[in-house]
Amino acid sequence: MSRRIVIITEIIAPYRIPVFNALARSDGIDLHVIFLAENDPTQRQWQVYKDEIRFSYQVLPSWRRRIGRHSFLVNWGTKAALQNAAPDFIVCGGYNYIAAWQSMSWARRNSVPFSLWAESTTKDFRSGRTWTEFLKTKFVRGCDSFVVPGKSSREYLKTYGAPSAKILTAPNAVDTQLFAQRAILIRRDAAMHRQALRLPERFFLFAGRLVREKGIFDLLHAYDALPPELRAKVGLVFVGDGGARSALEKRAAAIHPGSIQLAGFAQREHLAAYYALADAFVFPTYTDPWGLVVNEAMACGLPVITSDAAGCAADLVEDGWNGCVVSAGNIVQLTSAMNNLARDAELRSLMGRRSQERIQQYSPEAWAAGMAGAALPCRSGAA
């Protein structure tokens, strides 16, 4: 008999659909997902791929308001949704929404095991306010178990008193096959795609929101610090949009020689072209719970330069093996890593192959296996 698993998460993100589909296919799992909203248009322009959903789900009515870096999302109908879903096990993706606390309360009253799916790390930008830390600690102590994507999140939860034995891993994943296959197709006719997208012959790639905390200005400064003869050969492409775009464009215009392109936002089906044609992927973030763009880049066979603030760094990028890990905010280290990779085609090729090799362990099926492992032991009464 299947076990009814209910996941509560914020939005129908395109990268979550493949992993939820994989979990729904797992033996012994009857999956239902409760989304707090369809999307967050204040942050991203993601398309909602409802036609790809192969699991039971519902979207709660909601009200959203964003003030600065803070997002306020209020839902109604949470308790009724849980009652109708009749879960045997609840996985809650976070603790910063009222619906999360309502779900925990409902689980306690109905004796349903409650697990926190946490992606935060110690390097996240957090308020540090006493009352916020108190609430986080209280929420963690109210959970029966925990699911994390990797090492950084595990260490973070332990600082809030989560017992190591109750922290299980479901490795963060994207549709690796989709990105890998599309990258192969793009490279078969690289010249045509490069011309269509007006891309340089060679370039470093950044993909993500164009906001200061992603380290985009550090990347621009590092590129400017490269020797002029190297900038003349290797460009820099930003894929994404955000509040810092105009400032980034203004600073980029002052850099000569060099080719700097701001390509704008790209939906999932177009991203593989940028990854496939790039020399390397650069992710110099100051704060990021994981950084799934790194998964995407690795699936497309790219070496990765990432800051140590990215949650994925400890799991996905091995310094000197499939890329480079630099200190967040250290432009000298970033420049050196870019310089070394740009000058060594053999090293880029080797690191790219290693990236593809490693990312196979971070497939939707691997995530589903980890999540199922957290839920199914509860059949015998274990938390």
pLDDT of residue 382: 38
Same fold, 3-173+363-380 and 176-359: yes
What integer is the mean pLDDT of 268-296? 96
Domain boundaries, the chain: 3-173+363-380, 176-359
pLDDT of residue 376: 87
**128 pLDDT tier (thresholds 50, 70, 90):** low
Q: Strand, helix or coil at 237?
A: strand
pLDDT of residue 379: 38
Instruction: Return the higher-pLDDT residue of 252 and 268.
Output: 252
What integer is the mean pLDDT of 139-151? 97
User: Which CATH architecture describes the domain 176-359?
Assistant: 3-Layer(aba) Sandwich (3.40)
HSE-up (13 A, CA, CB side) for residue 367: 24
pLDDT of residue 377: 67
pLDDT of residue 297: 98
pTM of the model: 0.94
- Taking 70 as the threshold, does the pLDDT of residue 131 lie above it? yes
Residue 92: CB partners within 8 Å, gap ≥ 6? 7, 8, 100, 103, 104, 114, 115, 116, 117
- Taking 80 as the threshold, does the pLDDT of residue 119 lie above it? yes
Whether 243 and 211 have beta carbons less than 8 Å apart is answered as: yes
Q: Which fold does the domain 3-173+363-380 belong to in CATH?
A: Rossmann fold (3.40.50)
Q: Strand, helix or coil at 346?
A: helix
